[in-house]
Chain A
Amino acid sequence: MNLDRTKAPVFHQIDNINIPKTEYGLLSNKIPFHVLSGGSQELSYIALTFNAGSITSNQLLVASITNQMLVGGTKNHSASQIANTFDFYGAEIRTDSNFDHAVVALFCLNKYLEQLLPLFCELITESVFPDSELESVISEKKHKLIVNKEKTGFLANNAMHKLTFGQHPYGRRAEPADYDKITRDTLVGFHSAQYHAGNCYLLAIGYITDAVMSLIDKTIGNLPVKAKTEIQPTPLTPAGKNASETIRKENAVQSSLRMGMQTIKITHPDYHKLNILTTILGGYFGSRLMKNIREEKGYTYGIYSVLQPYLQCGLLRIAGEIKSGYAMQVVDEVRREMQNLKDKPVSNSEMELVRNYMMGEMLQTFDGPLSCIDAVEKAIDMEVGIDFYNKEQQAIMSIKPIDIQETANKYFDLDKLTVAIAGNE
């Protein structure tokens, strides 16, 4: 048998990914729900997402600590009893908050939902924020922050956000001293205002049967409703022209580079194109930045670009850990790569590569209900719905090199790029 190893086997383009549909409805107490059912293991991910992100509080850290303290004790159960119960059933409680939202989620085997959902509801209605628990949460988080402040990546990232968003909440970052200003009363007040049935939605993903939904309605569907507190978003201000900052850290053996740019919202019709453009720039291993900075120059282990959606805008973010002494050169290279994308259309072969890569990636994201939790949550949080991914798919399949170039010229405004470097430069 003569095998020609220089020739690739025939491969097939994926041209259609089946994006699942979420079911939508209202629980008895009018909490909107989104359900995505499937999979063969009897597992459920049940999440309540509240409008309780950091933009909903004037004081730094209040939103994130309130969220984390939901497992810190209720009227009827101590923190250790709560932890013991969820751990005993092999279940997981996830709490997480960002600028726009805060989520509390239960991940467990369906057979234990009946035991665990009432306690899950108790976390939302009956949390009491005991002082001793608060003290250890604050101590742990403050310590983490102090350690993080030693990390060049953390410092550069914070500086980039400040440069990009200024005084807007998206640019605010806590300092260790901010932890000392947290009081129990503030958390109780924030919790009472934000964590109720009138201010959240439910997401259930996994093996969600009618029986599961009826259990959910009996428990979460009974959470008390209050009037929603409307929050006036702070208007965004543009970043200063070519804003940059270098944070000197003498003993650092690498420099962290973070670049940022305010850009369009996820609801903007060009968002998909910009996302594909960002992928070409630095979104996968074969990207322009990885080829240039890692594979040709060896200045980094990794450098990437990503388009991150927030409710009020998008953020184009570029990040890499760079060999000491080369960060400024890498900044120039990044700008050059962006300029190249404005000057010349990508080749057909690069277009095909990124198309196939992105379709493959999406196929993996939607490989079963549990693997797409993050993607579904993001689409609902950002108010575009899961149909976002059908549109993304259409854009990936139909985009042409000329569209990429046009998009680069429209949105790669290099004067608006902020640059933060932390290290021994």
Chain B
Amino acid sequence: MINFDKFELDNGLQVIVHQDKTTPIAAFNLLYKVGSRDENPERTGFAHLFEHLMFEGSINIKDYDHQIQIAGGENNAFTNTDITNYYITLPKQNLETAFWLESDRMLGLDFSEKKLEIQKNVVIEEFNQRYLNNPYGDWMLMIRSLAYHKHPYMWPTIGKNTFQIEHIKLSEVEAFFYKYYAPNNAILVVAGDVDVDEVKRLANKWFGPIPRRVIPVRNLPAEPKQNIPQTLIVKRDVPTNAIYKAYHMDGRLGPDYHASNLISDLLAGGDSSRLIQHLVKQKKTFVSINAYITGESDPGLFIIEGKLNDNISFEQAEESINAELKLLCNNDVTEEELTKVKNNIEMRNIVGEVNVLNKAMNLARFTMLGDTNLINTNISYYQKVSTADITNISRKIFTPDNCSTLIYKSSQNG
């Protein structure tokens, strides 16, 4: 059971406090409700580039990282399709440093052409390092644009390409800040051996004076139901063939979400899972295979990806995956197998409650979804899933018309 207190400042900032008296570390997590789904399609990669600029100095403080380090803290941030999340861990007695720094960069940034140029270069090198200079690294870029035609999940958070990033202007950066970086568009979680009244005092002191801003109402186009199989074939200079399949599924709050997550564990969670036992160990169709869900707020993707063994054709590979999915649709999951994947979720849940930063991040994410207490109740949704649910939801997801397939051919492999 994770305890928490909750309050809201006059300017709309939501604050969650979790007390954990066992740790000398305080975690400070600030979530902004803006991600790459909020981007202009001509300026993809923007939210993430912006995250980099947040570390380049705010109106009153030039050297964000230096101030964290000198207080014995560590910090980082990530951007995904849904959110931009900034986090700090530091000795609990230095908690106020985090309030000071984060409130100043919510108040305003010290923008400059030079900083923008440098961070564009850094982000382009990050794009190169992770996606282009990495065998198979570009598959997610391709599968998103194959699976989505309307919804902005069609591009990845890093952006569609580096050209759009190069063209971002300083005026756009400033506009983006005032549009999304506001107290009424953020959730603050403070966790550790902290006092709720003290957190209230600090929150009011540092964040209280920041004015509420006008946040655009999010109105994203829903992705229409896919009704025809999508396939893309590419050839790349990689050692072996690979296949990627993406099926549309529920968003994080959809009724089928938890069962879908359990299905991905049945297929590929651990060495005893179906795809690994049947297709890697026994039939040796694949050298490696994985299945997982993107877990996004809006309807996301159920992904199956595998690297083919030599002498296995794409047809054989697809057939073998389809045969496994058919088994799920034909109600062959036993109670025992379902208990196994539920036990795994329970273990991950317990391990997730060890680290104070991890708890702070989860509290922020669940608050964004609309119910902070999901941190305690989430597990019960998994426990409720029955074998019949697994069958029904498998039948719903795993239809050919709901699938986008990327055939990733090796040019080295003839």
Tell whether, in the assembled complex, residue A109 and residue B125 are in contact, meaning their CB atoms are under 8 Å apart: no
Tell whether, in the assembled complex, residue A353 and residue B126 are in contact, meaning their CB atoms are under 8 Å apart: no
- Against B, the Cβ 8 Å flags (1 = close, 0 = not) of A306-317 are 000000000000
Contacts of A24 in B (CB 8 A): none
Contacts of A9 in B (CB 8 A): 96-97, 99-100
Contacts of A356 in B (CB 8 A): 69-72
Give the size of the chain A interface in residues (CB under 8 angstroms).
Answer: 72
- Against A, the Cβ 8 Å flags (1 = close, 0 = not) of B107-151 are 100000000011111110110110011111000000000000000
Interface: A404 (CB within 8 A): no
In the complex, chain A residues 51-95 whose Cβ is within 8 Å of any chain B Cβ: 71, 79-80, 83-84, 86-91
Tell whether A143 pairs with B288 under 8 Å between CB atoms, given A12-B94, A87-B340, A360-B90: yes
Interface: B175 (CB within 8 A): no
Q: Which of A13, A353, A360 contacts B66 (CB 8 A)?
A: A353
Binds B, one of A178-186, A230-238, A296-304: A296-304
Contacts of A298 in B (CB 8 A): 117-122, 125
Tell whether, in the assembled complex, residue A285 and residue B65 are in contact, meaning their CB atoms are under 8 Å apart: yes
Binding site of A, secondary structure by majority: helix, strand, loop or mixed? mixed
Binds A, one of B19-27, B365-373, B376-384: B19-27
Tell whether, in the assembled complex, residue A323 and residue B277 are in contact, meaning their CB atoms are under 8 Å apart: no
Tell whether, in the assembled complex, residue A88 and residue B340 are in contact, meaning their CB atoms are under 8 Å apart: yes
Contacts of A5 in B (CB 8 A): 59-61, 100, 103-104, 107
Interface: B351 (CB within 8 A): yes
Tell whether, in the assembled complex, residue A143 and residue B307 are in contact, meaning their CB atoms are under 8 Å apart: yes
Interface: B67 (CB within 8 A): yes
Q: How far is it, in angstroms, between the C-alpha of A345 and the C-alpha of B129 when the chains are bound?
A: 35
Q: Which of A83, A284, A370 contacts B69 (CB 8 A)?
A: A284
Tell whether, in the assembled complex, residue B72 and residue A109 are in contact, meaning their CB atoms are under 8 Å apart: no
Residue of B nearest to A10 (CB): B96
In the complex, chain A residues 331-375 whose Cβ is within 8 Å of any chain B Cβ: 352-353, 356-357, 359-361, 363-364, 367-368, 370-371
Tell whether A80 pairs with B272 under 8 Å between CB atoms, given A11-B70, A90-B343: yes
Interface: A40 (CB within 8 A): yes
Q: Chain B nearest CB: distance from A183 CB in Å? A: 19
Contacts of A14 in B (CB 8 A): 72, 91
Q: Chain B nearest CB: distance from A12 CB in Å? A: 5
Most chain B CB within 10 A, of A41, A88, A132, A286, is at: A88
Q: Which of B22, B61, B134, B339 contacts A151 (CB 8 A)?
A: B134
Chain B residues proximal to chain A, CB less than 8 Å: 22-25, 59-61, 65-67, 69-74, 89-91, 93-94, 96-97, 99-100, 103-104, 107, 117-123, 125-126, 128-129, 132-136, 205-206, 209, 237-240, 269-273, 277, 280-281, 284, 287-288, 307, 309, 336, 339-340, 343-344, 346-348, 350-351, 353-356
Name 29 interchain pairs, CB-CB below 8 A, sorted by A: A5-B59, A5-B103, A11-B93, A11-B94, A13-B72, A43-B351, A79-B271, A83-B270, A88-B340, A90-B348, A135-B284, A136-B281, A143-B288, A149-B239, A150-B238, A152-B133, A251-B237, A253-B132, A253-B133, A254-B128, A296-B118, A298-B119, A299-B121, A299-B125, A300-B122, A300-B125, A360-B69, A368-B355, A370-B351
Known: A87-B344, A109-B347. 8 other contacts (CB 8 A): A6-B61, A9-B99, A41-B354, A43-B350, A71-B271, A83-B270, A323-B125, A363-B24
